[in-house]
Each structure stands twice: as structure tokens, then as C-alpha cells.
Chain A
Amino acid sequence: EVQLVQSGAEVKKPGESLKISCKGSGYSFSSNWIGWVRQVPGKGQELMGIIYPYDSDTRYSPSFQGQVTISADRSISTAYLQWGGLKASDTAMYYCARLRYLDWFLDFWGQGTLVTVSS
């Protein structure tokens, strides 16, 4: 059974750094792209970027380029999303999702990580 298990909710202050994780199981983690999706209530969903764990090839949406870093460690089947300096506007639910092999839609999703940034 394919599963993506994300790290727990975080509460941070503006300017702090953060790295959240997404661990895959039940499939060959290196073979599928993983994406990170931001969901803000009332603002829909945005695919921030995707990473191919086999070689860490990464693509960012222009809206998120330079704002976050996506990485992966295929040895432990885990992808990461990190911020160097959080802002209140980063408050959102973040989902990781697997992209179907040889295709680009999101076929399995993690349970989500709620990030709250508040002073």
C-alpha cells in the first residue's frame, strides 16, 4: 500500500527556519516525482515544486522559487520542504503528493502538515 506520512504540525515565529518531511512507503520511492502543495483556506491550492528523488532534479513554481527549498534523501525514502526565514504569510496546510510514474498528476497524498507562523 502506497503511503506518504508527513511530520507533525508546527508553530513558529516569523524569521525562524523550518524543515518538514514526507516519508514514502509501499513503492519505489526513487522512481516517482514528489510534489509539495500549499493550501491556504479561501485561496485554493498551489503546487510549489516537485523533486525526483533518484537524482534530486527539482523544479519550482515561479511563485515559490527562492522562497523555499525542496530536497530528498532517497536512502530513507523522505522528501523535505524547508524555509530559511518564515513569514506570517507562510501559514498554511502543506501536503506532499506523489506524481504518477511517467505522468504528472498527483495520485497519492500525505495527510498534511499545518504550519502556523505567528509572533
Chain B
Amino acid sequence: EIVMTQSPATLSVSPGERATLSCRASQSLSTLAWYQQKPGQAPRLLIYGTSTRATGIPARFSGSGSGTEFTLTISSLQSEDFAVYYCQQYHNWPFTFGPGTKVDIK
């Protein structure tokens, strides 16, 4: 099973600042997805195929990376972006998630 790790566990950011979230896999991946989850809500797809934004996702969200190292960048944090972000590999079954990074207000 591929183990996913994310860092940091919590990221404190001021509105308007840039946020960089990291995701690491225990083995090389061909592709990765990112999800956003707000309190009391279901997760929402943000990024798939490592760097493709899902429908309706603002351009301030971008994904990058390859191999075992991946990054989600939020270029200028808006109030609605404070949430938990999860990466997920769907390269090998079972598909596995990282433990999440909580982005909160500094």
C-alpha cells in the first residue's frame, strides 16, 4: 500500500498571502488529486492529474510535482480557503489519502 504524508500538519497564513502545501508518497506516482474540506462539509475535488483544476476551481489554486513529491499552492489566500486539504494517490489500489493539512488564519 502506498503511504501518503503531508506537511505541515497545520499552516497559519494571513489572507492575501501564499500557501504552499506538500504531499509525499512512499513510492513514485503517475498522478495525484487534491481535495478541500471545510467543517461540516464533504470533501470537494480541487485538482486531479497532479495539476488540472476541477470545474469551478479558481486559478489561485495550482498543483505541481512528480515522482514522490507534490505541491498544492494557493497563490493569495481568500477567507473561503481556510480549510483542510488532502492529497490522494490513485496510481495503485488501494487508493490512499494523506492525513491532511489544516490551513488556518494567522
B residues near A, CB below 8 A? 1, 33, 35, 42-45, 48-49, 54, 86, 88, 90, 93-100
Contact = CB atoms under 8 A, between A and B. Distances in A.
Contacts, number: 52
A95 B42 contact: yes
Interface of A: 37, 44-47, 59, 61-63, 95, 97, 100, 103-112
Given A44-B86, A62-B1, A106 B96 contact: no
Given A100-B48, A106-B35, A106-B88, A47 B42 contact: no
If over half of B's interface residues share one DSSP class (helix, strand or loop), that class is named, otherwise mixed; here it is: loop
A108 B94 CA distance: 19
If over half of A's interface residues share one DSSP class (helix, strand or loop), that class is named, otherwise mixed; here it is: strand
Contact of B94 (A62, A95, A97, A111): A62
B33 A111 contact: no
A104 B95 contact: yes
